[in-house]
Every structure is written in C-alpha cells, then in structure tokens.
C-alpha cells in the first residue's frame, strides 16, 4: 500500500533527524517522536488484516499519530533541534500521507 510505504519513509526520515537531538531528550521528545512515527505504518499494517470498519479505526489512529508527529516536530524546531528546511521537508511528506490516507479512508 502506498500510504504504508510513505509511513515507512516518514519513520526513516524521523529516525535520521532524532539521531542528532540532545541526549537529554532521549526519554522525552525523542521517545515521543519515535513512538508516534512508528505508530503510523504500524497501525496501517495491523488494520489491513481487519474488516473495513475496524480498518477505518486503525487509519484514524495512524492519522492522529501523523498530526501528533507534526506538533512534536514543530516543538523540535522551536528548540533548535531541527532546522526550517528539515521541518518543511518532513511536513510535506506528512501532509502527503494525510491527504492520501483521508482519501483512502473515504473509499472504505
């Protein structure tokens, strides 16, 4: 699935970014960002084996995680852990995921 593939790309991009975060964020922002990014493709994968109604719930969770991730990345930008270019690049990918996922969900 294309939305799952984009989710995996987001995880890869996020993990590359958080490697450079301060070590004292390991149990804070790094943990939050990594968990919600992994939640995106994981919920799509888990939901794909369910009924359409149940799958829709998992899609909702993945979408929620993508919006949460955006917020956390803005916080990381505000803390100067990532630069504007990094933020813009990942935001565009997240927004592409959100649009595609909402379109897919409407077809379920």
Q: Give me the pLDDT at residue 51, please.
A: 86
Q: Give me the pLDDT at residue 1, please.
A: 87
pLDDT digits (tens, 9 = 90+) for 48-60: 998 888 999 999 9
Q: Cα–Cα distance between 63 and 50 in angstroms, integer?
A: 17
The confidence band for 101, taking pLDDT boundaries of 50, 70 and 90, is very high
| pTM exceeds 0.85 for this model | yes
Domains and CATH numbers, the chain: 2-107 (1.20.1440.60)
Count of residues in the chain: 108
The percent of residues above 70 in pLDDT, for the chain, comes to 100
Side-chain-side CA neighbours of residue 55 (13 Å): 14
pLDDT digits (tens, 9 = 90+) for 26-79: 999 999 999 999 999 999 999 999 888 899 999 999 999 999 999 999 999 999
């Amino acid at each position: 699935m294309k939305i799952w593939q984009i989710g995996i790309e987001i995880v890869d991009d996020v993990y590359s970014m958080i490697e450079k975060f301060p070590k004292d964020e390991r149990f804070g922002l790094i943990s939050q960002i990594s968990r919600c990014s992994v939640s995106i493709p994981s919920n799509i994968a888990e939901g794909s084996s369910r009924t359409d109604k149940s799958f829709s719930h998992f899609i909702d969770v993945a979408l929620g995680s993508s919006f949460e991730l955006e917020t956390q990345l803005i916080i990381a930008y505000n803390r100067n852990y990532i630069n504007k270019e990094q933020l813009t690049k990942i935001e565009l990918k997240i927004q592409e995921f959100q649009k595609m996922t909402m379109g897919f969900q409407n077809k379920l």
